[in-house]
Structure 1
Amino acid sequence: MPFSIDFLDDGRVLEWKATADGAVATERDDYTPRFYVAARDLASDLDLTTLQSVYDQHPDVVATETVARRPGFRRDEEAVLAVDVAHIDRVTPLARQARQLSDYPVGDLACFNVDFSREFRYCLETGANPTPASELSTLRLSVPVTETSNDVYEKLSVAGDTVTGSPTDILTAVQGALEAHDPDVLVCSTSEIVPTLYEMAADAGVNDFSLSRWPDVDYQQLASRSTYSSYGRVGHSPARYNVPGRAIIDESNTFFYGETNLDGVLDLVSRSNKPVQELAWASIGNVLTAIQICEAHDRGVLVPWNSWRHEFYKPMGTLHDADRGGFIFAPEVGLHENVHELDFSSLYPNIICTRNVSPDVIRCDCHSDRDDVPGLGYSICDDRGYLVDVLQPIIDAR
């Protein structure tokens, strides 16, 4: 049960497992991430042998084979091309080249299982359970807000103790805390603490400073800082870093740890198969998507890289009846008596589970003559939808 997975530049993978005597690393050099290529449409008779022969000659491809998978919940098993890649960083570039490496018409090819996060992909493909078998030890590193943007820290909180002084004093305190606690998880007030400490060590000539448990790699940058726009608001996403052998939780970039502490994070790790570090920075939508991907994987269904399935045609009358939005009545200003509140706990998930509302069973072909949704003429298949299997365990636990 590895709580952290590290990917080295030479293709090796390190599985870190927590034990009563400390973390233990298992080195693997046989892991090859995989993505799939298939016909986009069910009726297509696309021949993938040409693309397979091109991939077989690519230096970043380890092997290819034709396997039987379901490209969608509404499709049966069919022959798809599986591509095993030499390094996890080459999955997306190779998938992008699927149309460039062949002369298939645009729109005929579709790639699957491409844009997974690294550790989650590893657990999904190898069957590794990222739930720690032993309790994880933590060490908190915190820098005051006034020091956040500095290239050199003059003050740093290490395991609750404030350390001030020269860079050498601060680095010595951090290294001493690492040796004393040997933490599995570094809880940082900001992820920028990691590169800043290494830059301080380089400038001060402290050559033996390291946050890593693996002697050959100090730290890795997984993603750069960026800005994004969501619902009309511009947000900031900080850079993400990785330290081999230790999971990093960035307090400035985590929702679950701030709301539930490590216990809540580990609960969602067990449900989503996302290891601690990836779970900590993930959003609730990201976690629910991971749970859905796990359910699809168990059913032999591939995950499309880019969704192309449009909604079924609806006449204007159906849109009027089905897509009515909610309306909130504004109360009259003043004092009111006999006011009642109705709170429907988990209303939408419960409706999904009790009514079997899932995209793979609504308007099924096998019951097209039924009117299971009054007024709309929609049928709902008797087979249990995958979304029910995703949500029911969460509702039961709640």
Structure 2
Amino acid sequence: MINKSALALLITGLLLPPASTVHAVSLPADFPPLPPSDRAVKEYVTAVNADNSVTFRLFAPLAKEVKLFTGATPESFVSHPMNKDAAGIWTFRSKVLAPNLYEYFFNVDGFRSIDSGSANTKPQRQVNTSQILVPGSLLDVRAVPHGELRILTYHSAELGSERQLAVWTPPGVDAAAKALPVLYFYHGFGDSGRSAIDQGRIPQIMDNLLAEGKIKPMLVVIPDTETDTASTTPENVVPQDRRKVFYPANARAADRELIHDIIPLISQRFNTRTDAAGRALAGLSQGGYQALVSGLSHLDHFGALATFSGVTITTVPNAAVSAQLDKPQEINRQLSNFTVVVGETDSVTGKDIAGLKQTLEQKGIKFDYHAYPQLGHEMDVWRPAYAEFVQKLFR
């Protein structure tokens, strides 16, 4: 049995093993080179310059060719050749960029790579893209009163699994006596539950708009759009069957979870309004389809609805949505705002939104429509669309 003195020495790290038991560690002969220790870290990682240009850097001394790719969609990707210095650091300096959150990745001898010198990656189920924030926009962390981002772990009875969601709460929510309205927001296909937070920048947008007096205090609830049941795991569905198999099954499961698990959970954990006018529902891409399905299937639960570049019943039929669209007077009476947004060059859901727009117009359903010029299926559509939508809520 070890005595108390020896135990104390062990705990404080003063009791060291005998020198004879310490062995030098030798690295394998093919171990890749380490970044140069005689250079400051900022000299070999990507950084924003004083003039809002960006110097992209990648330490890859053994690579024969490295290219930088910028852009958010395959149609907008631009390739930039990078130059390597004597220490093996590849660089490319951009032009001066407007304030925004930009996506990029590297092609290293044919291999698509994130920026290994940055922790800021796009939140995806299969991570392959990095991000960098050029300051000066609504996306910044500013010196304003900050809300909180709370992660709730809960049991979904509908899905039979343990789940997580995020909730943005305004400053002082715990002391607020007045019940708050709630916006439920769904992220897009292929992204993780942090997409709306880290890339959509919902916490920063809400903090800044609230500080400017442009929005009312509210909760923003961000569920995981993917239900990940045995029949709704997207990796198990081949891409050509996604709209026929995955979207309908996942939408049904997520709808049950929202109505029977999530909304009751939020009502239990926070002081929230329980009337339909105190709830809104929105989403982008796949999440836009989810918002459309749940919003119109349970019209009596919500007072506002938005789909940003969403899949629609134009390509993924839903009987409940179709039935509700045949009751335009009910929709017009119930929804204070119905927003439909798309990028003009969207090759992913442009057909979906065009079909929905035509249907709404034919049936006389009131809606706000915005097509963003020269943009496709990307966050440069969805972030400003979100910021505009929340300013219309709960007035």
TM-score by shorter chain over 0.5: no
**TM-score between both structures, scaled by the size of structure 1:** 0.23
